[in-house]
Each structure stands twice: as structure tokens, then as C-alpha cells.
Structure 1
Amino acid sequence: MTGQSSAAEGTTSPPTPDGVPFLGNGLAFSRNPVGAIEEWASLGDIVRLEIPGRTMYLVTGPGPIEQILVADHETFTISPAQRETFRGIEDHAVTTTTGERWERLRRALRPAFTRDAIQRYADRIVETTTTYVDEWEDGERIDLYREMRFLSVNVLADAMLDVDIRGREEVVMDAADALVDRANLRRPGQLLPDWIPTPTDRRFERTVTELDAYVDELISERRTTGLGDDVCSVLLDAHDAGDISLDEVRHNVVAMLLAGHDSPSVALTHAVRLLDGHPDVRAALVDESHDVVASDRPTGESSAALERTRNVVSETLRLYPPTLGVTRQATEAVTLDGHELPAGAQVLCPQWPVHRDERFWDDPTAFVPSRWQQPSDRPEYAYFPFSGGPRNCVGAPFARQELTLVLATMLDTVELDVSVDGPLTFTPSLQLRPEPDIDATVTRR
């Protein structure tokens, strides 16, 4: 469909794809959000969608995305959908707050994510990975995604929170699963009023209660053992200084545990799967690890020299971004790419179609890590796996280092022969988790 002239001179209404009565574009979105978004993106860089209960604008042009996230970021706030998704679990976290509170929380977290701090986490990332992978037996068949989740939550807890989470991982993972299930676009009861309890809601409340209790234990333990320079200590220091509340400490630790293990585990699963399908790239990474770190383990210093491994991380995040997209809401009327959006307009900036747009990427669906070796003139926001602008993911530098070091450590220790049980599809929720079983057979080097 073509855009119609609007009341504002020089602007047009974005195209709207055909939908179905009462459900509009919501039915296609819930059935296959990735496929629907790809199809709708072909209509233009800004597309108007009719979803039950609201209008949403799909934004897939790097220019408008940069305008939303960077240039005009003060004109946009986090969306009601984002607040609703994390309601009851991260209400006081940096992920869901705005204004003065968000600035205060971001400032409190900053010391844990400086360049020096990220470097300090490196040895613990490698040590935890080595300990975990050493438990895999030669010839063992593992559930790859599940193992990457266990590994990621252990790496995060040890490196960034300075706690041993072994034996308690499922408290975090169960809450993450309940959160993803509650946001699942296909779940029964998705359109029911909030006051009608569903099994999904009850499970969510139970797992959040258990996670909150565990985080309270964790915070108490950090008090007992003494504060250091980890994230939990940095937050507690800010609390002791009167800068943040104890609820804000708790909810930001919760947010770190949930997002900090979920996104890396998805990325690691895809990276291992892609490398299994490209043995030449995998061999090059093994050689690089041997050349860079010799007989020693990778470190923060050596990770900078693991160029091919870092390229694989970048390419994996391009092809398989961990989330469905970045959501925002306009606080006032705004013009994007010649289209006028009203105040209150909700926008979705999905990484998937932008990262695979042939206008910006040669052979866009192919796994080509070498594309990252040369500078490119593509727009900056043709690639934004961790969002962008002032509200970018505060943990992005840690996640990139984690993915690089975990991959290098694993590849130096084992070879994983991967099999996927059926076509690769994704959970239609906030995290683009793989739906089919992904197994791997371990061969120790």
C-alpha cells in the first residue's frame, strides 16, 4: 500500500499492510513475528501496524532509527509494552525507569562497566568457562542451548556479582523462562484483562518471588564477605551513599541476572552452531587462539588480539540478534523520514530485517565473519544488536568480551558437532530464543 497525504504539509502517512478483521496485523505478528517483520519491512522504512488495542510503527531505516535512539532521544521514552513486560520484576531497574531515576541508576552502575572494570572480569570469565567445559565428557551429547544458559549464568554471577551460583542456576533460569512465557505473543490469555489470573501469570509470580528471595540472600552474602568492585558491590556502595534505594539495588541485580545470561546464551548457541557449519572458520579461530595465547589461557589483554573471534561474535549478533527489537514511545508529534507520527506513537525498531538489509550488507543472509575486517561506509544504525544512544545496553561491553573469551576458551578445549531438530524457528517473545532442540556431541581436543 502507498502512503496517503497527511494534514501536515510535506508529510505522508506510512503504508499499512493488509490485516484481518478485529485483529489487524496482530495475527501475523503473533504467528511468526520474524517472518512478518521481514515482509512488512519490504513496504518501507516506516510502516504503520494495527495491533489489537494499539497502533505501532515499524521502523527499519538506519536514519530514522538513529533519530529515535540518538538525535531525538529526548522526544522518545520507553514504551508501555516495555514497562508492562517487566512489571513486577524490574520495576526499579535501569531497564524500565526514566528521567531522574534512570539517570541516577545509570550513574550508580557506571563504575562497574568502565574499560578497566571490563578488563578485570576477563580472568574470571575464562576460569569459570574452563571449569564448566572441563565437566563435559568426550563423546557426551549435550543440550547446547541449555548448557550455554548454565554456563552464561555462572560466568555472569562469578565475574560480575562475585558469587558462586552453582546449584542455584535454575532459580534465575526459571524466572527468565516465566518472563519470556508471559511476553509470548502466542500464549493463551495474552489478551485477557490483567485482573484475570492465568497459569502463566501464577508461574511468573512464583518464580519472581523465588528469585527475589535468592537476590536478597546474595545481597546479604556480599555484605558479609565484604564489598569489592563487582556490580552488586557498586550498587551497595551507591545505596550506602544514599544515592539509590535497596529496592533499586535488588531490581538491578535481578535485571543483570536475567538479561545478562539470556542474551549471551542465545548468541553462544548460534555461534557454535554457525561454526559447526563452517569448519574452515572454526579452524581459523582455533589457530588464532593458539597463536595469541600460546599455552596460556585467554586474558583481557589477549582478547583484544582475538580479531577473528571478535568478528565471529559480531557476525553472529548481526544474523541472530538476541531480542525482537527496541521499543520506544513518542512524547510529542515527530516527523520520521517524511512521515508524521502523533504524540504517544509506539515504535518498534527490529534488528533482524535491518541487519539483513541488502542495501547495507553484501550477501546479507550468509555467515561471513571476514566482512568485519574492513571499514565500511554503511550507516551506523544498520547494526545495533545492543540498542543505541543514551539508553543503550549498559552491559554491552561485558557481553562482547564474554562472548569472545568463552568462545576462544571452548574452542581451545572441545569441538562440538551440532544438530538441530527441525527448521530453525524462534520463540515469539522479547528474546528470540531458538525453538527446536539443538544438541551437540563433545569431542575433547
Structure 2
Amino acid sequence: MGSANRPPTPDGVPLMGHGWAFARDPWTAMREWAERGAVVELSFPGRSMYMVTDPQLVERVLVADQDRFTLSRAQRQTFAGIEDHAVTASTGERWKRLRRALQPAFEWDGVRSYGDRMAERTAAHVDDWDPGDRLDLWAEMRRLTLHVLGDTLLGVDVEGEEAVIHEAADALVAKTDFRRPGQLLPDWVPTPTQRRFERAVGALDEYIEGVIADSSPEPAGDSVVGVLLAARERGDLSPAEVRDNLTALFLAGHDSSAVTLTYAWYELGRHPEVRERLVAEVDGVFDGELPGADDFDDLDGVRTVVDETLRLYPPAFATSREATDPVTIGGYDLPAGAQLMLPQWVLHRDERYWEDPDTFDPARWERDADRPEYAYFPFSGGPRHCIGMRFARLELVIALATMVDRVDLDVSVDGPLTFTPSLSLRPENDVRATVRTT
């Protein structure tokens, strides 16, 4: 690859390259780097990466030319030791086989059947709060979404086992924290973070094996556990693939939704006029009754709040891919094996496509906007889009509508809202909420 045909490279620092700025503040760093061009070349200790921030080029990577790209090494390394045999860490024919096995549990007709139970579980959770209670909002949303996931998609009672699942998720986030001093060390080095991760994975594996032992195969369209066990009986999945895919669903299936609900409440606290519009809407739609999937299309305001929250705070703030062949992207020749980063964080806040991009404005979704499709892709895109996208969107709308109808929260953060630079966009500050009567 000739130097004249290489993408521009933002300024870095000796030895660390762009890793220092990324570890300190990836959100600012990515937006500043994007100012250098639609494709920029970045260097990190031990590897290089190309950041792509043009919607048409993102669509090409994820959709039009998706057969020339695969899961990145970074993502495979992220899930090493916990989801090695899961769809989240698989490529090629194995990925296709796993996706086919899981897909029946995520069809819309099956997902929409969970709507009533989502509302019931949310109402029960909120009804345990009393006026004046001071809540750790992030912790409450984690418990809520884990119970919703267990009660619906997984068909598993997680009561009393929350700590096992949360500790595994926390250990994975700690292991992938960009600021961790041992981030560049191999996994066999027994750092405190690595030892914590291995203990947490061992405990979660034991719990998952118990879930599998207590479950039975079910036809397509029923719980994910049953669908996976039926696939194992047919010989389509191995025991390790069943276990690791359940692990992936337990972790990602609640964490991303909890993040989104936390930030939705944070923004509603800062914009009481938006919350008032939601209260009026849900009163008009279900008049004191619990919502269900049939109400989804009528909850326009709630959907726009969810969409706007996912725009400002995408749980997966960047998607990664790896080129399987030499490719030309944006006029630049990239070699086979090139690592690509497609940052939702940058595109979702790009002023070329969004008016006042850093402002929380759900009404923008009610206005016509001529923007490229991949200026917004919170669930990634193409064949490898998040398999739980329909479930997550229904859950977020139903849960938020149910909560807004039953409770008001006075949300506070100590200082400016900051994020953990890791696998998902978790809040770094304590997000507190005081329960108020509606």
C-alpha cells in the first residue's frame, strides 16, 4: 500500500500513538479525529485501526460489501474466555449456523407476545418504591431489565441469582476498560482483574449449567433456552455453544437496556416538559391499564424518547469489523486484515446530519429529516445487526411507558455525566433518583 494512498493520521504521542487519548477520553478523541476525514488511520500499541465516519461507507462495510468483512480481532478478544462459542464471537459458517439456531426465538410474532409480561414485571418493580426513596438508578434498571429478560425471552426465574450475573457483566467490563494498566497483557498473566474475571465466569458457568439442567427443549418461538436445547438435540449446536450463547444473552440482553433506561430517565429529569408530554400520551393510550405490544405503535412520544436516547447514548458506542481481502474505502487502499472502527458515538452526534447534535430533542424524530440511513445505527446493521433488536425496542418502550405512568423520578448526578471507557456506555458517575408521587 503506497504512502500516497493512505488515510490521514491524526497527531498521536510516542509509543502509545492514539491509545493515550482514547484511554483518557474516547468520546472527545473520536470526534476530533473524525474532523481529519471520513477515514483516518489510528495507531495503538501493537495494532493499527481505521476509523470510518461516513454513513455511506459504514453502510458499505455493514451491508453492501459485508461479505468482504468479518468480526474484528478486537471483538473476538473481548469475549475470549466467556463467549468463545457464542454468536457474538463467531464468524463464517459457524456464525451462520448459530444465527439460524437462535433466530426463531427473536421473530416479531414471538417477541410481541412478551409485551404484557414486560409491563407486569416493570409495574411490580416500580410499585416496590415508596415516595421519598433514594435510588441508585443504574442498579435499579439493571435489576429490572434482568428480571424482564428472565421472565420473557429466556423463561428463567433469576430471583436470587442477580449477583452472579451482574458480577460476570461487571468483571467483563472491568477487563475491557481501556484505562486498565494490564489491558495489553495476555490473559494468562494473573492480574487482579483477570483473576476476578475468571472467578466470575466460573460462577456464571455453574449457574448456566444449572439453568440448562432444569430446562427442556421447546419448539421454535418459545423461550430461548428451549430453542437452544432443541437445536442441541437435533445436533445443530454443541453443549458449549448452548452454554455460551445463553451467557451472551444473559449479559448483553439486560445490560444494554439498563443503560438506555438510565439515560432516558436522566434526560427526562433535565427536560420535565418532555416527561409531561409522555404522561399525557400514556394516559390517553391506556388510561391506567398496563400497556402491551398492541400499544407500541400508539406510543409515538415514548418511541421518540427511546430513539433519541439511543442516539445520544448508544450502548455499543462503536462497531468493529475486519477486512478479509484488500479493499478500497473512501478512496484509500486498506490491506487484508485491516481493523475498522465504525463509531456510532461520532455519527450520532455529527452536525452534518443532526441539528444541535448534543441536545436531547425527541421532537427531532417527528420532523422530516433528509439524512443517510447509517447516520443512526444503534443496533449495528446488515446481517450481523443485534439479534435482540426487536426485543430491546419493545422492552424499552413498554418499560418506559409503564414507569412514566406510575412514578416520577428526581434524577441527580454528581458533576457532569461521564462514562466508563469500556465494552458498553455505562455511567461512570453515580446516577441517583428520588421517588416522587405522580
TM-score when scaled to structure 2? Answer: 0.97
1:190 partner SS: coil
Q: Which of 400, 404, 412 is equivalent to 2:405?
A: 412
The change in CA–CA distance for 1:383 and 1:61 in structure 2 (over 3 A counts) is: same
Matches within 5 A, 1:282-301: 282-301=275-294
Matched, 1:60 2:49: no
Q: Which residue in the other structure is 1:174 paired with? A: 167
Q: Which residue in the other structure is 1:348 paired with? A: 341
Asked if 1 retains the 8 angstrom alpha-carbon contact of 2:217 and 2:229, the reply is no
Asked if 2 retains the 8 angstrom alpha-carbon contact of 1:93 and 1:105, the reply is yes
The amino acid that maps onto 2:37 is G
Separation in 2, partners of 1:320, 1:275: 14
Asked if 1 retains the 8 angstrom alpha-carbon contact of 2:85 and 2:241, the reply is yes
Matched, 1:402 2:402: no
Q: How many residues align?
A: 438
Instruction: Provide, for residues 239-261 of structure 1, a one-character-per-residue CA deviation record: whole Å limited to 9, x for no partner.
Output: 12221112111111110010111
1:90 partner SS: coil
Instruction: Provide, for residues 12-56 of structure 1, a one-character-per-residue CA deviation record: whole Å limited to 9, x for no partner.
Output: 321101111111111111111111111111111111001000110
Asked if 1 retains the 8 angstrom alpha-carbon contact of 2:217 and 2:230, the reply is no
1:89 partner SS: coil
Asked if 2 retains the 8 angstrom alpha-carbon contact of 1:324 and 1:429, the reply is no
Asked if 2 retains the 8 angstrom alpha-carbon contact of 1:130 and 1:409, the reply is yes
1:7 positional shift:
3.6
Q: Which residue in the other structure is 2:23 paired with? A: 30
Q: Which of 249, 259, 267 is equivalent to 2:252?
A: 259
Separation in 2, partners of 1:199, 1:343: 36
Separation in 2, partners of 1:333, 1:343: 4
2:298 partner SS: coil
1:329 partner SS: strand
Q: Which residue in the other structure is 2:266 paired with? A: 273
Instruction: Provide, for residues 342-361 of structure 1, a one-character-per-residue CA deviation record: whole Å limited to 9, x for no partner.
Output: 11100111111100111111
Separation in 1, partners of 2:338, 2:28: 23
Asked if 1 retains the 8 angstrom alpha-carbon contact of 2:104 and 2:220, the reply is no
User: Bigger CA drift: 11-20 or 177-186?
Assistant: 11-20
Q: Which residue in the other structure is 1:3 paired with? A: none
Separation in 2, partners of 1:104, 1:96: 13
Separation in 2, partners of 1:396, 1:161: 15
Separation in 1, partners of 2:218, 2:131: 37
Asked if 2 retains the 8 angstrom alpha-carbon contact of 1:138 and 1:443, the reply is yes
1:442 partner SS: strand
1:223 positional shift:
2.4
Q: Which of 188, 199, 203 is equivalent to 1:210?
A: 203
Asked if 2 retains the 8 angstrom alpha-carbon contact of 1:138 and 1:442, the reply is yes
Separation in 2, partners of 1:165, 1:444: 29
Q: Which residue in the other structure is 2:111 paired with? A: 118
Q: Which of 240, 243, 249 is equivalent to 2:236?
A: 243
2:164 partner SS: helix
Matches within 5 A, 1:195-234: 195-223=188-216, 229-234=222-227
2:222 partner SS: coil
User: Bigger CA drift: 185-194 or 399-408?
Assistant: 185-194
RMSD over aligned CA atoms reads 1.5
Q: Which of 180, 183, 193 is equivalent to 2:176?
A: 183
1:163 positional shift:
1.6
Q: Which residue in the other structure is 1:421 paired with? A: 414
Q: Which residue in the other structure is 1:432 paired with? A: 425
Asked if 1 retains the 8 angstrom alpha-carbon contact of 2:315 and 2:426, the reply is yes
User: Bigger CA drift: 240-249 or 383-392?
Assistant: 240-249
Asked if 2 retains the 8 angstrom alpha-carbon contact of 1:427 and 1:433, the reply is yes
1:224 positional shift:
9.5
The amino acid that maps onto 1:307 is D
1:79 positional shift:
0.7
Matches within 5 A, 1:103-142: 103-142=96-135
The amino acid that maps onto 1:431 is S
The amino acid that maps onto 1:327 is S
1:174 positional shift:
0.4
Q: Percent identity?
A: 56
TM-score when scaled to structure 1? Answer: 0.96
Asked if 1 retains the 8 angstrom alpha-carbon contact of 2:418 and 2:427, the reply is yes
Asked if 1 retains the 8 angstrom alpha-carbon contact of 2:155 and 2:223, the reply is yes
Q: Which residue in the other structure is 2:354 paired with? A: 361
Matches within 5 A, 1:95-110: 95-110=88-103
1:50 partner SS: strand
